[in-house]
Every structure is written in C-alpha cells, then in structure tokens.
A and B are shown apart, each in its own frame.
Chain A
Amino acid sequence: MTAARMSTRPAEQLVPRSIATIAGYVAALFVAELLLAESGFLAGGISHVLLLLTLLAHYVTTEDAPYRPFLLALTLPSLMRLVSLTVTVVDLPPVLWLAMIGIPTSLATLFVLRLVPAGLGSLLDPPSDLPLQVVVALSGIVHGILLYLILRPAALVPLNEPGAALVAMLFLVLFVAALEEVIFRGVVQAVALEITGSRVAAIVIGAVVYACMFVSADSPLAPLAMLAIGALFGATVAFTRSLWGVIGAHALMIIGLLIVWPAVAG
C-alpha cells in the first residue's frame, strides 16, 4: 500500500489498517522471542535482526501511514534483545550486563523520541498528584512479593554485600525500571494511543509488547505475570498521565524480586 493510496482512504479505514499492521509486527516480535526460547539464541537473534531491518525499511519507505511512529517504537524491544544476546559476557557480573545493554538501548530510545512527538509527551513532567504517585510507587513492594512467589528467581547479588547490592539497586533503577517504563509505557503505549485514539487499545498493545519480552523466560507464568503487570502499569500511566509512579513501582518490584525477597526467603 503506497502512501498516496493510504491518504485517499477515509479515516475510519486507517485505524483498523494501523491496528492490523501493529498486530502483525507485535506477532513477529512474539515469534522472534519464541524462536529464542525454543530454537536457540541464533534463531532468535537472526529473527530479531530481520525484524529490526524490516521495521526500519518499512518506516523509510512509507510516508504518510499513521502507524509509522509505531514502527520506530517497536525497534526498541528488538534492539534491546539483540544487544543483550551479543554483549553478555559470562565472566562479568550480571549486574554489569544491565549497563552494557542499557546504555545502547537508552541511546536508541533517545533517537526514537527525537522522531516521535507522541512519545513521552508530558509523562515525565513533575507530577501534579504526588501522593497518588507515591502510593502507586509503593504498590511495587506488593508486586515484587507476588512475582517472587510465582517466579522464585535466584538473587542477583547477595544482600549481605552492601556495596554490591547498592550498585545493583542503582543499575536496576536506571537500566531496568526507568528504561523499561520509558520504552514500554512512555514510547510504545503513548504511540499506540496516538495512533488508535483508544486508551484501552494502547494499554493492551503496550502490555502485550512488554509480555512478549518474557516469552524467553523459563517459567511459562512469566509472560502472563508480566502481561498483568504491564496492563496495570499501563492503565496507571494512562489515567494519571505520569510515569513517575510506575517507575517507582517497577524499581521496588524488581529490587524486591531480584535482591531483597530471595535473601529474605533464604
């Protein structure tokens, strides 16, 4: 479909076509992660390379399609996975992996935000409803406990090494909580909202993309749990119009899940 033909279509036909395109690419992301889980890192990695190149080729060869910003937003999960599959060095502590993956992915996110006006918007402005954002952030403690009971991950660093634990917490806040919320709620969900005009559709799309990233986890419950977390965080962002609360919740959730609760449970 050329851009010229697209622009002659009535607006009511553009949204379903955009949703179909978005669904197709999200399905491709799901398949790439499934291949990573089931067929190995090479099949998954090559799928992500192809998906990344297809998304960029589609973006630069179309002009006025309303779904174009989503193509850029969806490059971020694929890039994140490609970097993570390539730069992880088993001799280095896994905490350092977070920075080695997070720095290139953060750079890509900044580049996407240059081209996507709908991304972030006012979501990182100082919150007008600070008490509500604090309550949202504190809910991350409960999410962390629930996720730990479901997934039972090993501790990232021992809590009895305060220096290492503090560095790990800092990296988890910067390269997991903040970065993932900016990508999945601040970019993917915000762009989906701009394209579809529906909060519900945007929340669902953001949550599904986020859950896709956990298809390559060992536990089959992981993507389902993250779908629920993604939908909850997405709804919170959609209705409070701020990312700060969910960044706090994500930080407390992931610090609890990977550092505190494994140590407490022994």
Chain B
Amino acid sequence: MTASVTDAVSAAAGTFTFEFRSTTLGLGLVLALVVLMFARELFKAHGGPRTPERVRALDIAVWPLFITFGIIVSVRLLELI
C-alpha cells in the first residue's frame, strides 16, 4: 500500500474491468484533457504577458493525462488483438 496504490485503487482494478473503467472515468479524463488543451490554445491565441505561465500551468495536467490516454488506448488495442 502506497499513496498511489491504496486498497481502494486495488479493489477498483479487481472489481471493475479495464473496459468499464476506461469508458467511464477514462472518458472523464479524456474530456478533461480536451478542455485543458482547448483552454491552452485559447490562452496562446489570446496572447499577453502571462500566457507562457498559464500554458505551463495547464501543461502540468495536459501531458500526464495525454500519457494516461496513450496507456488506455494501448491496453484497449492489446485487448482487441
């Protein structure tokens, strides 16, 4: 048991299929990723002195969520093969 993998996380992995988790919470993550990427592009288009800081702040979530999305897609593809 660690901060990242608690009993509830292990239980969720054991109770619900990856397919179910990826089409529920995974979908929520993808939507959040789309919102953040949209906001990121809006800030870039709007410009201004604080734009780089704001874009970097959004990057904190954008890139990890993008990697997570990649893992979800990879696992789902492997399940299909």
Contact = CB atoms under 8 A, between A and B. Distances in A.
Interface of A: 36-37, 40-42, 44-46, 49, 52-53, 56, 59-60, 63, 72, 75, 77, 79-90, 94, 97-98, 100-105, 107-108, 111-112, 114-115, 151, 153, 172, 175-176, 180, 184, 210, 213-214, 216-219, 222, 226, 254, 257-258
Nearest to A111: B60
B45 interface: no
Given A46-B25, A108-B61, A101 B4 contact: yes
A79 B75 CA distance: 20
Q: Which of B6, B18, B53 has the most CB of A within 10 A?
A: B6
A219 B8 CA distance: 11
Nearest to B7: A218
Contacts of B13: 88-90, 97
Interface of B: 1-14, 16, 18, 21-22, 24-26, 28-29, 32, 35-36, 39, 43, 50, 53-54, 56-61, 63-65, 67-68, 71-72, 75
Q: Is the interface of B mostly helix, strand, loop or mixed?
A: helix
B8 A53 contact: no
A87 B36 contact: no
Contact of A52 (B2, B61, B68): B61
Given A88-B5, A101-B4, A115-B57, A94 B10 contact: yes
B6 A86 contact: no
Contacts of B39: 60
A184 B25 CA distance: 25
Given A52-B61, A56-B58, A60-B57, A90 B18 contact: yes
Q: Which of A53, A153, A175 has the most CB of B within 10 A?
A: A53
A45 B7 CA distance: 15
Nearest to A57: B39
Contacts of B60: 56, 72, 75, 79, 108, 111-112, 115
Contacts of B21: 41, 85-86
Contact of B68 (A36, A40, A75, A86): A86
Contacts of A52: 32, 61
A234 B60 CA distance: 24
21 contacts: A41-B25, A72-B57, A75-B60, A79-B65, A81-B4, A82-B65, A83-B64, A86-B22, A86-B68, A87-B68, A87-B72, A88-B12, A103-B67, A104-B63, A104-B68, A107-B64, A115-B53, A176-B4, A213-B4, A214-B1, A218-B7
B17 to A, nearest CB: 8
A34 B34 CA distance: 27
B36 A108 contact: no
A180 B3 contact: yes
Contacts of B36: 53, 56
B36 to A, nearest CB: 7
Contacts of A82: 25, 29, 65, 68
Contact of A214 (B6, B35, B54): B6
A36 B4 CA distance: 13
Given A56-B36, A172-B2, A176-B4, 12 more contacts: A41-B12, A41-B25, A46-B28, A56-B61, A79-B61, A104-B68, A214-B6, A216-B8, A217-B1, A219-B7, A222-B6, A258-B1
